[in-house]
Amino acid sequence: MKTAKIRSTNFIRQIIDKDLETGKYVLVRTRFPPEPNGYLHIGHAKAICLNFGIAQDYQGQCNLRFDDTNPEKEDIAFVESIKYDVEWLGFRWSGDVRYSSDYFYPLYHYAVELITKGLAYVDELSPEKIREYRGSLTAPGKNSPYRDRSVQENLMLFEKMRDGMYVEGAACLRAKIDMTSSSIIMRDPILYRIKFAKHHKTNNKWCIYPMYDFTHCISDALEGITHSLCTLEFKDNRRLYDWVLNHITIHVHPHQYEFSRLNLEYTILSKRKLNQLVMEKRVEGWDDPRMPTLSGLRRRGYTAVAIREFCQRIGVTKQDNNIGFMALESCIRNDLNENAPRAMAVLEPVKVIIENMSTQEEVLIMPNHPNKPEMGSRKVPFSREIYIDRADFREVANKQYKRLVLGKEVRLRNAYVIKAERVKKNKKGEIVAIICSYDTKTLNKDPEDGRKIKGVIHWVSVAHALLAEIRLYDHLFNVSNPASAVDFLATINPESLVIKQGFVEPSLKIAPPEKAYQFEREGYFCADSHFSSNKHMVFNRTVKLRHTWMKTRT
């Protein structure tokens, strides 16, 4: 029996352990079956980590199978993005990529088998009538007037559907189960519908396409899946999953297990609503850094390590819950705090002139990480004129203010102690320059006379500063559960993106896209993969240094 190296357990792993111990299975096979009609989001990451993680831990197999049965909404670009996301997260599927369309011929023949057994029929009710006849949660459905057609007539009509002799919506194939069932999904569900749409793999070979519930279980069986893992909204579908497999001639019968889907605060995880955001241009696209898609998170600077750790922390249960967004932020902070090199950037610059500096400039050596000498160091120019952040200076301040104050001292990060002597203002009374002096003997040292310097601020040399567009991203929605709002679009946070024109130190000129840096005292940032270039630098804020979002809104 295969043994597993497991970091933690959950009810699904306990089931697998028992199945292996009893000899029910000797090899675990799972699958990840996304629809190629959009980009993967953080909720899919949970399913990816579960399915591929189980296969890894139990030395089993995990298939990547695209549920491509709805050609009107599918695109090869979505296929490629999904493949990239799975690999980016650190996983590799077993064998070749699989598609539900690979099984269109066997699926068709299994549908014919159900018709032959008197368990499926061609219905010519309109879609509206089918919904009406289905009944409700409190009222049973009623039989279609076409339900009692003979096997031969149904076979002939299904072939007519296959040959494109019906218009869309004029006919469909339904399972013949029980229109009075307490489970609505068992009230003669549709197995095939007509769609005259070009398919990304089969082109125009088919004009009838199988429904998800018919396709999924048979695809699982054909691939020898041992544990078919779905989210809780498919719990009722398990009855149909089993019914189909019990009534066709197939030798493998996988079991479906359901777990709770991911619900994340201040986030929408409905693919339909995410698509609406994209189509209505509420965001830049599927990979907008405010989107919960993996491509959006990646562009914002989130790492695969952090997302896998997040999925590990939230676990796998049968109880629906709403995960705080700060849990995801905590994972990326922990990762970047350890692994992101440091740099300096000034987001709202004001000039400082060090009047007693005799040389025009010097070069300082700064560590790339304060606690990891193995990450090396960098050369940073220091000059008579520097930029500091406007919020780091006040003419008058109380004792709690630990930054630069007129007549007082502060330390420049990895540099000298400076003292604010006076200010220059324009005609509007705005400060345009702070005139300072510096203690030449305080380069990374305390003052020789023992005076205490409490504050540390960051800076950038004016002569060497690189102009940069700084994009400050925040939650896309300003309510914790936008999905429950009557109009989720009305809950969009107008401050989800604030753009500033600032300056960064010259070492960041070669910053590769999506490479994370900690901008000292500002947060974690990365160069934008779309817009950043040597001529126009754009940095996206991944996350603040600490959780402050709720505090700023209370």
Q: Is the confidence at residue 450, as pLDDT, over 70?
A: yes
Q: How far apart are CA 369 and CA 283, in angstroms?
A: 34
| pLDDT score recorded for residue 200 | 94
For range 382-393, the mean pLDDT: 97
| pLDDT score recorded for residue 321 | 82
Q: How far apart are CA 359 and CA 386, in angstroms?
A: 14
Apex 247 CA angle, 243 and 251, nearest 5: 105
pLDDT 10s digits, 88-136: 999 999 999 999 999 999 999 999 999 999 999 999 999 999 999 999 9
Calculate what percentage of the chain has a pLDDT beyond 90: 93
pLDDT 10s digits, 177-195: 999 999 999 999 999 999 9
Beta strands in 355-449 (DSSP E): 361-367, 377-383, 385-389, 393-394, 404-405, 409-412, 417-425, 431-439
The single residue of 73, 201, 261, 413 carrying the catalytic annotation is: 261
Apex 162 CA angle, 156 and 167, nearest 5: 100
Q: Is 132 a catalytic residue?
A: no
The single residue of 29, 31, 174, 271 carrying the catalytic annotation is: 271
- Say if CB 314 and CB 98 are below 8 A apart: no
The single residue of 35, 284, 385, 421 carrying the catalytic annotation is: 35
pLDDT 10s digits, 285-341: 999 999 999 999 999 999 999 999 999 999 999 988 889 999 999 999 999 999 999
Per the DSSP assignment, residues forming a β-bridge with 543 are 524
Q: Is 271 a catalytic residue?
A: yes
Residue 552 vs residue 229, higher pLDDT: 229
**What are the b/e assignments for 266-299, b being 16+ CB within 10 Å?**
bbbbebeebeebbeeeebbebbbbbbbbbbbbbb
Calculate what percentage of the chain has a pLDDT beyond 70: 97
Q: Where residue 443 falls among pLDDT bands split at 50, 70, 90?
A: very high
Q: Map out the domains of the chain with their CATH numbers.
A: 105-212 (3.90.800.10), 261-344+466-554 (2.40.240.10), 345-458 (2.40.240.10)
Q: Is 385 a catalytic residue?
A: no
